[in-house]
Structures are given as structure tokens and as C-alpha cells.
Amino acid sequence: MTNPNGRFGIHGGQYIPETLMNAVIELEEAYNHYKNDPQFNKELTELFNDYAGRPSRLYFAGKMTKDLGGAKIYLKREDLNHTGAHKINNVLGQALLAKKMGKTRLIAETGAGQHGVAAATAAALMNMECVVFMGEEDTVRQALNVYRMRLLGAEVIPVKTGTATLKDAVSEAMREWTSRIADTHYCLGSVMGPHPFPTIVRDFQAVISKEMKEQLLEKEGRLPDAVIACVGGGSNAIGSFYHFIEDKDVRLIGCEAAGRGVDTFETAATIATGRLGIFHGMKSYFCQDKYGQIAPVYSISAGLDYPGIGPEHAHLHDTGRAEYVPVTDEEAVCAFEYLARTEGIIPAIESAHAVAHAMKIAPDMDMDKIIVITISGRGDKDCAAIARYRGEDLHE
């Protein structure tokens, strides 16, 4: 739960320039007003169901279960949402809120491009202008998503500063917001940044665990033993965990991108290698050097390639309520291929991190145990990059 001052334990807060303070206060007031407004919730539910295709399916992965020989495995199919990932949940919520606030322009950061595509989609639907900041490196890794955003009418600005990845895209979007606030809403894509963003994004993503719980109760008559999701900033993970936080017997497992390994510098595993800091508006754990300079992080997955983690996850880690485990590029790629061959489902390389961890723990669990893995997105966008990882000369 969020404390009144926007804290999760010691984490969170509002470490942002004074220029933005009234903007986040206005956002918080608007959100507190609309979150319990029946008309707002009716419109949002209609968008979720009729436009985004919710509820997403909870699929029993029978072949995978049989092959691994342990716990029963269910997949929460966020990849089947419109635009192909969980990102649409948050974006529809924020775009609707921004519209109610009288904003006419959305700005967003994106890593893999899924949040940018979702933001561009919502902007097209709601007649809003949209500008997406994307690290130049990521525009190359995810060229198809750049095209999709432009096709949807958004302007994509490649960010060349710093490591030219997700963190730099966030910084640039924040800079843009300080220069143009009156008509612009910063549609932040993860459970990070200054309060109230971690709470707003969580609430819009919490539909994942709400449905998961209902669907599993219907299919199995009980709660799962473990819920597994990948974590960058952590929006699909918090969405998957949220309605289980009070159910203490449900293990909550977040899978961080270890890149080439947590003992190398080429990693993005924040809980495994980071320490407490203040960055991008929040107090949380960050990959950084001894002087507090933010470390250049690496993962094969553009969506998990971020040096921090959302403040609520940092708190769930502190209290021991959730576990955070590192998963390497190689493990994720193997899981990507495995799920494609075993279930005929190509997961996003981000989601493949969660699949990889399930593959590690399921065989040692009893056959009456249940794991739910959130497949946060579809993997079409990743095929060329994974082919290249495997040594094939494939370009989009």
C-alpha cells in the first residue's frame, strides 16, 4: 500500500525539480478524484474490454507442465492484449485521466517500444498528440516498433545522450515535461518515477492479478503457490503481485535481467547488484558506482534494461514479501525458444525471463502445486534480435 506521502516503506517520494511539483500535485488530485468515479471506471472498463481485449486469458500450459514434470503451470496471457503487451492497461488509464484533466498531448519514454506503441495507440484513439522518447540504441534494436509508433501518428525522438537506452529516454521525457506542462501529460510507463506515478501505474496494472485470482479460483478452486513475472521498472510484476500481497502463502517472484551475469558489469539486475539511491524522482535501489553515478546497465531485453526498480518492489524486497532473482540473457533466450516449441507461444524476451525461472523451479515442486507466469508481451518484436543472438544474419 502507498503511504499518504507517496512512500513504500523508505522508498518512493518526489525527488523532482520544483518546476514539476505542481504538475504531480495536480495529477495526484485528479487521480484521487477519478479513481473512485463510477463514470471514469465505466469508461476505462469499456476500453479494457472492448478495445484492449480484456480479460486476458489464463491458459493452462499442459505440455510445459508435463515436460517439466512438477508444478502445474498457468500462463497469464497479457501478450494477447491489443498492442501485444500489458503496457496498454496503464496507458489507457493514464490517457483517459489526462483527457479528463484537459491535457491534449502525451509524452512517453520507451525501452523495447511496447509502452511507446501503447501510448501512440491511446493517443490515436483519444485524439491526442503523442511524442515518444526512445534511446537511439533501442530504436535500432526495435526498429519495427519505431515504425509502428510513427504509423500510429506519434513522433519518435531518438535519445542520443548517456547510454542511449531506457534511462536516458526517461531523463529526456522528464526534461521535455519541465519545458511544457500546461497541455502535456507525462505518461510514464512503469511503476517508477515520483509519486503518484508508482501508485497510478500499479492500480491500472493491478487488473492482471485481479483477473488471475478470479480465473484460477474458477479453474482450480484455489490460489496459486507462486506468481512469477519479469521486472525492469516492474509494472507487469506489480500488476501480477498486487492482489496476492495479502495472501501470504502465495510466493511472489520477480525476475530481473542479469544480462551476461550478475558477476559482470553487463547486467541490469538492480536488486542483485544495486544499492539504495535517489534517481528519476524516487528513492529505491539503483545500479550505481561508489560515488552515486548511475551505472550503464545491459540486458538483451530493451524493456528490462533499466538501472533501477520501482519503489514498491524495493519495499517488497525489504520486507521479504517478494523474492527477486536474476536471469541471464542465455537463460531467457533458451526459455524464449522453449515456450515457442513447447506451447506454440512466442513470448517477449522480457517475459521469457519469467519463463526461465519457472523452468528452474517447477521440476522441484510437487505436482499439486500451481505456478502462474505472466507472459507480459508477445515476442514478434524480438525474433530478429534473438536470431542474431543465435548467430543468424537476420535483419528486419
Q: Is residue 78 flagged as an active site residue?
A: no
Query: Whose Cβ is closer to another protein: residue 24's or residue 333's?
Result: 24
Helix or strand or coil: residue 12? strand
CB of 16 to another protein, least distance (A): 6
Which residue in 87, 167, 213, 283 is the catalytic one? 87
CB of 311 to another protein, least distance (A): 13
Which residue in 28, 56, 103, 109 is the catalytic one? 109
* List of residues contacting another protein (CB under 8 A): 5, 13-23, 161-162, 167-168, 171, 174-175, 178-181, 275-281, 286, 288, 290-294
Query: Whose Cβ is closer to another protein: residue 19's or residue 49's?
Result: 19
Q: Is residue 129 flagged as an active site residue?
A: no
Residue type present at position 283: K
CB of 385 to another protein, least distance (A): 25
CA distances for 8 relative to 27, 83, 317, angstroms: 19, 31, 11
Query: Whose Cβ is closer to another protein: residue 15's or residue 59's?
Result: 15
Q: Which of 240, 268, 126, 256 is nearest to 187 (CA)?
A: 126
DSSP 232-288: SS-HHHHHHHGGGTT-TTSEEEEEEEEET-TTSSS---HHHH-EEEEETEEEEEE-B
For the record, the C-alpha cell of 279 comes out as: 534517481
The 10 Å Cβ neighbour count of residue 55 is 18
For the record, the C-alpha cell of 342 comes out as: 513447447
d(CA 25, CA 21): 6
Which residue in 240, 299, 351, 376 is the catalytic one? 376
Query: Whose Cβ is closer to another protein: residue 3's or residue 22's?
Result: 22
Q: Is residue 376 flagged as an active site residue?
A: yes
The secondary structure of residue 376, as a DSSP letter, is: -
Spell out the alpha helix ranges (H) of 298-328: 311-319
Strand partners, 281: 15
CB of 292 to another protein, least distance (A): 3
CB of 268 to another protein, least distance (A): 15
Query: Whose Cβ is closer to another protein: residue 9's or residue 162's?
Result: 162
Residues 6+ apart with CB under 8 A from 29: none
**Which residues participate in catalysis according to the annotation?**
87, 109, 376
